[in-house]
Structure 1
C-alpha cells in the first residue's frame, strides 16, 4: 500500500519532475535493451546481445525462450512484429499468423453446434506461425545462426526451473489436459498424485520439444556444411518444420486428436512482410500492424483524440476518462465490423477508417455529458470515394446488441487471457458467480507476452506473440502446443463480414505490437498482453508519455481505465458471451470519490481494481542523452535487462 500511495502522489505531480518514484526502477542502457514477459527469457536476450547479436537476434532468442517456458504461448502459436531497420530508415511489419486449415468453414462448425469456433483443443488451431516468423526475421534481419539464437531455449527444453505461475496453471488445467495424451505426458509430471503438475522450482523437461528444435538446427547446420548461405541455412530449418518430418508428425498428432490441419496447409503457409499502417499524432508517427489485427483501433483513437485538448482535461479526470472511453468505443465499433484479413475479399475500407476527416466526424458523435450505450460502426467508404456495400449487414449487426438487456449482466472473461483478469475485472468478489474465484489471483498475472529489443546501431523490435497457451493440445511427439486462435473468427457476416472463417484465411487478432518515430527516428517501442484490452492500455501508455510527461516506467505503471463496451474477440460459446457491456468501465481503486460519482451520473457502471495498467513493456530511445530507457510494468513477471 505504501508503494501505491507513493505512486499516486508522484503521478499527481506530473509533469513537474521526471524522477518520481516507481514500484520498479526504470531500466537504463547505452548499448542494448531487452524486455519481455519472464526474467529467464530476458536473460536469453541479454546472452545474445553479449555475444554480439543485434536486436533482431536478441528478440528471436527471447521469443524462443518464452515459447519454451509456456509464457501463455508455445511454439505452435503466432508471431506479430514491427522492426525498425536503421539501414533503410523504415518500419516493416511481420505477419506470422497462422491460417484456418482445410475444412474450417462456417458450415463445419455450425454443423457441430458452435456459434463461434471452439476455445480449446485441436479444432481451435490455426497453422503454427511462430517457427516460420522467427526463422524469417532472423534470416532477413538478424546476424547470427539459428543454432546460436535457439541455444538458450534448447538448454531450457533440456530442463529449467519452472515458475509458480505456469506450474499452477498446468495444475488447474489438468482435467482438460488429460483429454489429450501428448499434453498429459508433458505437463502432468506426477500422474496419480494429489498435485500432478510440476511444483514451482522443479526442473521441467521437454524431451520432444528439444528433439524438434534439434532437428531444425541440424537442418541448418547440414545446409551450412553444404556451402549454403546463412539465410538459406536458416530457411532449410524452416522447411524441415513446415515440409519435412516435423510437419509430418505435427499433422499426424493433430489429426489423431480430431484436428483439421493437413500437410498441404503447413507447406502452403508462409510469413508475410508487410507495410505497417501509421498515423501522425502531434508530430509523432505511430505504427501498427494492418487490419488483420486490432492495431488500427489505436490509430483511429489517436485521430479522434486530436480533436480534444487532453492535457487541459488532466490525467484521469472525469472529462478525460469520459472522452477516452467514448473515443475507444467508437474505434472498437469500427474494429468489430470492418477489420479482417486484407488478403481475402471483401477488403476492409482501411483508408477511410484512418482518414483524419472521418475521425473528425466520429469525434462529433461524442456527447460530453453522458455515455453512449450503443456506439455503432460508422461509414468510412465515402472517405475513400466509395459507396458502402454492407449497409444492410450493418443494420443487422447493430440489431444484434440489445443494450437494455445487457446492461446488468456480468462481463464474460476468457479464462486463458491476461488481461482478461488483469484489466477487465474489478476484484475477486465478482467471480463467485462465474466459478473462477479460486483461479483469480494466479490468472491476474497471466496473458501472452511481449518482446521489446533495441540496440546502439538503431535496430528496434516490438513483438506480441501468442497462441498455444495452457491448456494446450500438443501435436503428437513434436512437443509443440497448437494455437487456439481460430476462436477469433466469426461464423456470421452480420457480426463481421470481413472476419468470417474460411480455409487459408487469417483471423482478426488482438495481438498488437507498437512503434513510434519522432523526427524520423525511433522514439518508442511498446507492447502489452491482454486480449481486447491491449490497445486500450497501449493508447493510454502513449498518451501518458506524450501528453502528461511521464517517464517510460511511470507510464507502464500509471493507472488506466478499460472499457468493456465492445465485442469480445476471445472466449465464449454464445453471442451473449461476446456482446458489449454498455457503460461497463474498470477504474483504478485509487480513483477519487468525486470522479466515481460523476462517472456514475454520466451513465457508467464502474468496477475497481488496484491493477489496471499493464503489463506494458516498452523501450524509450532518449535522443537527448544518447541512451535507452526500458519500462516494464509492475503488474506481472515481465522483466528487462539493459547495458
Structure 2
C-alpha cells in the first residue's frame, strides 16, 4: 500500500527534498515560468532550508532537456580546485589526504553560478522573481529540520569555541535550535539582496542582469569576502590543527559554468542520460550495461537472485569508477570503452553464485587499472567530541550503520516537455566555517581527490575532483520521460538504479518504485574521508522475507538490516503519456515533497 498518492497533472510537476522548495518551484509557474525557472527557485530555497546538506558555495550537476531538442545537456556546477592546490602543497603541510573539513579542501563555488546559467539560458523569469522565496526564508526564517538540529547540536561546542561565525549563523542566542524552531539567516538574506541590487543596477536585458549577479558573486563582494577569509583566517579542521585556505578571488573570477553533452546508454527502449566522469554518473550506465544480460523480470522483484545480481554488477561498475573516473579535461578517461557492450559482456562473466569481496576494476582497451591504496587513518581523540564529526567528511552526524552520505535533489517537468534534474550538495554547515558577512560556508569537495600520482582523480590545480553527484534524465524515442535523483553520496547511483529497475523491469508505477524497499552495497571505499569500505556488506531496509535474507547470507553476503524507510529520498518528475505530467517523492525522512497540477 502506498503512503503517498500517484500524482498526475496537466501543467507542471516539481519534486524536491524539501516541501518549501517544491512549493517555491511550483509558484514560478504562476509567474509564467517554465521547469527551469521552477528548479532554480526550488534550489535557492534548498540552499536556505537545508544548510546541513548544501549551500551557495557548494556544487551541482544540472541535467537539462529542452522541449523538442531530443537531447540532454549538463550544466556543470562542479568548481575546480584552486590554482595553488597541488599534492606538494598538501604534503608540505604534513598531509597524505585532503582533509574532509575546513578551508583546505575548498573548490571554486559552483552551485550559484550553475543555477544562474540555467536561469539565463533556459528560463524565462527575472532573477528577482526566482530568488524571492529564498530571500524570504533567509530573512524571516524557516522551521529547522530534525537532522539539521541534530547536526548543529553535535557541533555546538565547535561553533562556540572555534567557528564563531558558524555559531552566529546556526545557534539561536548561543543555543542549539530545536527541531521545528524558526531559524533565520540575516547575513545570507543580505547577500542575496545585495546580489539582486547589483543585478538591477546593471540594467539592460534580463540576461545582462543575470550576468551582473554572476559578476557580483565571482568578481565582486562575494569573491572579495572569500578571498579575505580563506587567505588570512586559520581555522581548525579535521586534522585537529588550524589551517588557512588555498582558494582566492582570482580562482573565482576565472571560472564560468559550462554546458556539456550528456553521457548516455540505451536500455529497454529508454535512452538514459547522465553527467560525465567528473561525476560518478557513468557508473549508473555501466550497471545497466551489465544488467542488460539478465532477465531481471523473471527473477522477481525482491528475490535473492535479484538482489545478488544487482549488487554484484554494482561492485564491478563501482570498481571501474574507482580506477578510471576523473575530470576528462585533465585526464584520459576511457569512457567509450567502459560503456562498450563487449566490455560489459567480459565483465559480466566475473559474476558467479557467490558474493565477491574483492575490488575488481577492469582493463578497458587493455589498460592496466590503478586504485590508490586507502591509507590508515588515525582514530581521532574522544575529546573534543566535534573532532570525530569533522574527521568524517560526509554531511551527517557520524554514528549510523547505514550510508551517511546525504545531499539534496530538485526535479521539474512542464507541459511543454521541458525537464530538469539536479542534485545540489556541498557547502554544508559541517564542512567549513561560515564566511563572515556572507551567511554560508565553503565546500569541501576537494576531499574526493587523491594526493598520489598517476590516477585520473589525482588532485591538480584548476581540476574538478570526481564527485558523487549524479542526477538522471531518461528519454523515450527522444521525448521526455523521467527526471530523477536522490541524496546519498556514493549510494546515489544504487538507490536511483533500484527505483529505475523497479519501474522498468518490474512494472511498478513511479510512486510504487520510489517506496519499494531499498538496498545497496558498501563494497567500494567511500568517496568521503576517511574512505571506509565494507566489501561484502549488503545493506537493506528491514522488512524483507527471512528466506531471501538467508539465501543472501548463504551466498556470502554480509547482510546488514537498517530501519525501514531510511535509504535515500528519490525525487521524480516526468511525463505520463503525451498530455500528462507526473511527480513522485520518497516518504523517507518525511521531508521530500512532490506536487503536480
Asked whether the 8 Å contact 1:71–1:469 carries over to 2, the reply is yes
Asked whether the 8 Å contact 2:358–2:535 carries over to 1, the reply is yes
Pick closer, same or farther for the CA change 1:116–1:286 going to 2, 3 Å: same
**1: CA distance, partners of 2:224 / 2:372:** 45
**How far does residue 525 in structure 1 lie from its aligned partner after superposition?**
0.6
Paired position in structure 1 for 2:61: 80
Paired position in structure 2 for 1:555: 513
Paired position in structure 2 for 1:640: 594
Paired position in structure 2 for 1:491: 451
Paired position in structure 1 for 2:362: 378
Q: Deviations over 1:452-494 (max 9, x none)?
A: 0111111111000100112242122111221111111111247
**1: CA distance, partners of 2:343 / 2:403:** 37
**2: CA distance, partners of 1:333 / 1:479:** 39
Paired position in structure 2 for 1:231: 207
**2: CA distance, partners of 1:401 / 1:611:** 33
**1: CA distance, partners of 2:335 / 2:285:** 11
Structure 1, unaligned runs of 5 or more: 1-20, 383-387, 403-411, 422-435
Pick closer, same or farther for the CA change 1:564–1:273 going to 2, 3 Å: same
Match of 1:180 among 155, 160, 163: 163
Please identify which structure carries the higher helix content.
1
Root-mean-square deviation (CA, aligned residues, Å) is: 2.2
Paired position in structure 2 for 1:142: 123
Q: Deviations over 1:577-604 (max 9, x none)?
A: 43x3221111231222222221112111
Match of 2:323 among 329, 337, 348: 337
Paired position in structure 1 for 2:292: 306
**How far does residue 375 in structure 1 lie from its aligned partner after superposition?**
3.5
**How far does residue 613 in structure 1 lie from its aligned partner after superposition?**
4.5
Q: How does 1:363-512 map to 2 (within 5 A)?
A: 363-367=348-352, 369-382=353-366, 388=367, 391=368, 394=370, 397=371, 417=394, 436-437=398-399, 447-471=406-430, 472-493=432-453, 497-512=455-470
Match of 2:225 among 245, 249, 256: 249
Paired position in structure 2 for 1:587: 540
Q: How does 1:120-139 map to 2 (within 5 A)?
A: 120-139=101-120
Pick closer, same or farther for the CA change 1:520–1:311 going to 2, 3 Å: same
Q: How does 1:594-633 map to 2 (within 5 A)?
A: 594-609=547-562, 610-611=564-565, 613-623=567-577, 626-633=579-586
**How far does residue 168 in structure 1 lie from its aligned partner after superposition?**
3.0
Match of 1:200 among 179, 198, 217: 179
**Counterpart secondary structure, 2:298:** helix
Paired position in structure 2 for 1:107: 88
**How far does residue 171 in structure 1 lie from its aligned partner after superposition?**
1.9
Asked whether the 8 Å contact 1:558–1:613 carries over to 2, the reply is no
Asked whether the 8 Å contact 1:414–1:570 carries over to 2, the reply is no
Q: TM-score, normalised by structure 2?
A: 0.91
Q: Deviations over 1:251-283 (max 9, x none)?
A: 112223221111110001111100000000021
Q: Deviations over 1:279-333 (max 9, x none)?
A: 0002110000000010100100101111111111111211111111110000000
Does 2:251 align with 1:265?
yes
**How far does residue 100 in structure 1 lie from its aligned partner after superposition?**
0.9
Pick closer, same or farther for the CA change 1:282–1:398 going to 2, 3 Å: same
Asked whether the 8 Å contact 2:138–2:186 carries over to 1, the reply is yes
Aligned length: 569
**How far does residue 46 in structure 1 lie from its aligned partner after superposition?**
1.6
Asked whether the 8 Å contact 2:28–2:38 carries over to 1, the reply is yes
Moved more, 68-77 or 531-540: 68-77
**How far does residue 31 in structure 1 lie from its aligned partner after superposition?**
0.4
Structure 2, unaligned runs of 5 or more: 234-243, 377-388
**Counterpart secondary structure, 2:229:** helix
**1: CA distance, partners of 2:263 / 2:361:** 20
Pick closer, same or farther for the CA change 1:313–1:134 going to 2, 3 Å: same
Does 2:35 align with 1:35?
no
Asked whether the 8 Å contact 1:557–1:613 carries over to 2, the reply is no
**Counterpart secondary structure, 1:469:** coil
Asked whether the 8 Å contact 1:467–1:484 carries over to 2, the reply is yes
Does 2:471 align with 1:513?
yes
**1: CA distance, partners of 2:453 / 2:474:** 34
Pick closer, same or farther for the CA change 1:452–1:51 going to 2, 3 Å: same
Match of 1:531 among 489, 493, 509: 489
Paired position in structure 2 for 1:160: 141
Q: Deviations over 1:106-126 (max 9, x none)?
A: 122233333321111111211
**How far does residue 363 in structure 1 lie from its aligned partner after superposition?**
0.7
Q: Deviations over 1:187-239 (max 9, x none)?
A: 12222xxxx12233433222221121112111221122xxx221111001100
Match of 1:214 among 193, 199, 202: 193
